[in-house]
Chains A and B, each alone.
Chain A
């Protein structure tokens, strides 16, 4: 083949980083840059849409999250709820079990709680009702997680797709429940404010926040210091190693998913029993999906997850303020959340790989 050899040398090529070569300071720096860039982009975007000064946009967002006591409580509550679901998916993810069914698991947890309140609210004394609510939510969440786990463990059924489908089964179940049992036929359940988790003092959300804070610490300890947490890490890192040391992988998969599901059930309990006192198909509101990203971005570390959760809630709630301050569409919240997620996802690349510029290679003379 008479090929004239004037093909260009690739301008850049990509090299995987030596994991030791990047310091933790740089890791944090790269992530910080990504977040700042994302905030800049969404800020500029909104200021263009709203035809205003970018600084005003940030001002408005900050006031939307911290401006009044009520807003601060709302933010704390939102952080707690998202964090709770994120905690729930984390053990499964650490095991590399792609549980994207947290939405459904939390929703059936909420449904179980709502059903208990709806049917037994009047007949049971409150303390007993609380116990039944808790048990029902947790068990419902566990069942929803158990199904995909069992099939994954024994037949290697694709868990991503299985758990995804289970979300919609749960949604339809809630839709059916509402239409079947809500007497007025509107499909909207009245708020059952007489029953539900107790309030601490006059703070509506304090119990939720405290419970989730406790869960955060517990999950952190479980993953880092318990034998079961260690097993999860080993299975997640290498199933072969797990086999080598005699870990029963099936057992660990099922056990971990039960925990994941139970925590999702708790999230449902807190949402229905502790917050809304009613249920709808959107009670979980996409948290099950956002949680996946929260957990993944925090590298499955529950303590870092507090930060990532806060970041996302800040954007969400701040954007809502933008809507009322500047009269722009409420969809801006989703858009800016999307932008920041993509920026953080993208920056992982620079943590993993290095781009090398090829030196100019000399022309060869024979």
Chain B
């Protein structure tokens, strides 16, 4: 006898403008189980769950709770059906304490008394083994504490269906283990737990069943016991992963960028970069792997002159003269004025690399608007460049006067990468350049990077997909919590070896050194 169905989605569809996020998605969740929803970035996992949680409203399709069709038009409706979601970006009010955040939106019987809330919060923490100070302000909390508050919030409302959106992305391995223990305890409590993830090992170790989404459509649901890494990957990717990215041998590698002992801290004084050292050579692609938020972004921004360092040096060696320059504490303009041709494709394309409301021509000027004499802009060159890029990279756009915000993700990226490459860089840094892109666009980007490598550019590639990193990069540097945990050869490295490095803690590293 199967367990009763707690939640069911049937034919759910959601579009944003021209982008189809979910198409005809089906999903079933039982009571007392942990269901993993697996899919690549942009496969529509989060959007689907947001509709269940009442954040978005579906364009079509039905949602059933306990066998009855329901309309979930707002998060409030979701709570009424005992559905609670823990979002990837925490929905907490910074100036409130943990208790106040928990009390938010709850319509208990009787008067509101924070003391009562506090009591109940403590009860919940003891029951599930959380460690949290209920009177601490959220602004003063660590990421893992904030997540705990989110979970308590949902439990406080008596949710029976819990949805967690990539909960482990920001956690250390120890914190992840603790979280999983809590989730298992919830399963024993006969709750339904849905965990959104793209990490296969988590799926295998935690869940009872796995539902796989691909490009917004549901591929199917299988018992975890019957699944293996490769079968899941196949479901996720559609075909068995044979990426076939071309990779040439580096020609005449020369030291181009030498980074030594970079350290930085965030506003609260916690270390973001913690002694990062590496060397990037010309004519090779250096991959950077790591859990999201391990300091990848800050590392690239530090090199580009956008992230303040407390320690360390960034030594650039000029390919022609052989002269070296220290780029530390210089802003992007000073770096350029030194004659360093450093190009940077940031992770946030429309928020940093490009200006969404400007047209392609004006975006071409971002890096070069100061060129030329006088007070006025020179639009001729950028226009030619824009026309060129549109033509060569086959950017789908009505014309070069179209605001880039109106282009699709892949075309936006082509514009950005095209501009950065047009500057004839000697160092090219790219952060997650294929995130959210379809297969064709991704290969265009891989090819562009490879061309640059063959031209003798030192390419630094931050990626999240290990298969891509292993097929594209000559060397892969793994970082965790702002520390380099290892640099491996891209041709010989094994996936599990990299995965291990990604979660290696400081203590383990020291043990390794001593032992």
Query: Would you call A244 and B353 a contact (CB within 8 A)?
Result: yes
Closest to A365 in B: B69
Report A243-274 residues with CB < 8 Å from chain B CB. 243-246, 248
Q: What residues on A are CB-neighbors of B17 within 8 Å?
A: 16, 18, 21
Q: What residues on B are CB-neighbors of A9 within 8 Å?
A: 71, 73
Q: A246-B331, A364-B62 are in contact. Are A5 and B68 (CB under 8 A)?
A: yes
Q: List 26 A-B contacts (CB under 8 A).
A: A3-B80, A5-B68, A10-B57, A18-B17, A19-B403, A19-B406, A20-B406, A226-B376, A227-B370, A233-B358, A234-B355, A234-B366, A237-B357, A241-B351, A241-B354, A241-B366, A243-B306, A244-B304, A244-B306, A244-B332, A244-B346, A244-B366, A245-B366, A245-B367, A246-B333, A364-B62
B181 within 8 A of partner (CB): no
Query: Would you call B369 and A238 a contact (CB within 8 A)?
Result: no
Query: Would you call B369 and A230 a contact (CB within 8 A)?
Result: yes
Q: A7-B70, A227-B370, A246-B333 are in contact. Are A238 and B355 (CB under 8 A)?
A: yes
Q: What residues on A are CB-neighbors of B69 within 8 Å?
A: 5, 364
Other contacts beyond A7-B73, A246-B305: 9, CB < 8 A? A5-B68, A20-B402, A227-B369, A227-B376, A229-B377, A230-B377, A243-B306, A244-B332, A364-B69
B362 within 8 A of partner (CB): yes
B82 within 8 A of partner (CB): yes
A329 within 8 A of partner (CB): no
Q: How many residues of A contact B (CB 8 A)?
A: 33
Q: What residues on B are CB-neighbors of A70 within 8 Å?
A: none
B356 within 8 A of partner (CB): yes
Give the 10 A-B residue pairs with the shortest CB-CB distance, closest first. Answer: A246-B332, A246-B333, A18-B17, A20-B406, A240-B352, A237-B355, A364-B69, A7-B71, A244-B352, A246-B331
Q: A5-B69, A5-B71, A366-B67 are in contact. Are A238 and B351 (CB under 8 A)?
A: yes
A7 to B54, CA, bound (A): 14
Report A1-27 residues with CB < 8 Å from chain B CB. 1, 3, 5, 7-10, 13, 16, 18-21
A234 to B71, CA, bound (A): 43
B235 within 8 A of partner (CB): no
Binding site for B on A (CB under 8 A): 1, 3, 5, 7-10, 13, 16, 18-21, 225-231, 233-234, 237-238, 240-241, 243-246, 248, 364, 366
Query: Would you call B348 and A240 a contact (CB within 8 A)?
Result: yes
Query: Would you call B403 and A3 a contact (CB within 8 A)?
Result: no
B128 within 8 A of partner (CB): no
Q: A19-B403, A244-B352 are in contact. Are A226 and B332 (CB under 8 A)?
A: no
Identify B405's interface contact among A10, A19, A233, CB under 8 A: A19
A13 to B71, CA, bound (A): 14
A229 to B369, CA, bound (A): 11
A92 to B80, CA, bound (A): 47
Query: Would you call B353 and A241 a contact (CB within 8 A)?
Result: yes
Bitwise interface map of B from 109 to 124 toward A, beta carbon under 8 Å scored 1, else 0: 0000000000000000
Closest to A18 in B: B17
Q: What residues on A are CB-neighbors of B356 within 8 Å?
A: 237-238
Q: What residues on A are CB-neighbors of B346 within 8 Å?
A: 244
A290 to B362, CA, bound (A): 31
CB of A218, distance to nearest CB on chain B (Å): 12
Query: Would you call A227 and B375 a contact (CB within 8 A)?
Result: yes
Closest to B18 in A: A18
Report B364-386 residues with CB < 8 Å from chain A CB. 365-367, 369-370, 375-377
Candidate in A231, A234, A238, A246 with the most chain B CB atoms within 10 angstroms: A246
Query: Would you call A1 and B366 a contact (CB within 8 A)?
Result: no
CB of B378, distance to nearest CB on chain A (Å): 9
CB of B200, distance to nearest CB on chain A (Å): 33
Query: Would you call B73 and A225 a contact (CB within 8 A)?
Result: no
CB of A233, distance to nearest CB on chain B (Å): 7
A327 to B248, CA, bound (A): 88
Query: Would you call B73 and A10 a contact (CB within 8 A)?
Result: yes
Query: Would you call A3 and B81 a contact (CB within 8 A)?
Result: yes
CB of A143, distance to nearest CB on chain B (Å): 25
Report B318-367 residues with CB < 8 Å from chain A CB. 331-336, 344, 346, 348, 351-358, 362, 365-367
Query: Would you call A13 and B57 a contact (CB within 8 A)?
Result: yes
Closest to B61 in A: A361
CB of B406, distance to nearest CB on chain A (Å): 4
Query: Would you call A1 and B82 a contact (CB within 8 A)?
Result: yes
Candidate in A229, A233, A234, A248 with the most chain B CB atoms within 10 angstroms: A234
Q: What residues on A are CB-neighbors of B376 within 8 Å?
A: 225-227
CB of A220, distance to nearest CB on chain B (Å): 13
Q: What residues on A are CB-neighbors of B298 within 8 Å?
A: none
Q: What residues on B are CB-neighbors of A229 within 8 Å?
A: 377
B260 within 8 A of partner (CB): no
Query: Would you call B358 and A237 a contact (CB within 8 A)?
Result: yes
CB of A103, distance to nearest CB on chain B (Å): 29
Identify B332's interface contact among A10, A13, A19, A245, CB under 8 A: A245
Query: Would you call A225 and B377 a contact (CB within 8 A)?
Result: yes
A3 to B71, CA, bound (A): 11
Query: Would you call A8 and B81 a contact (CB within 8 A)?
Result: no
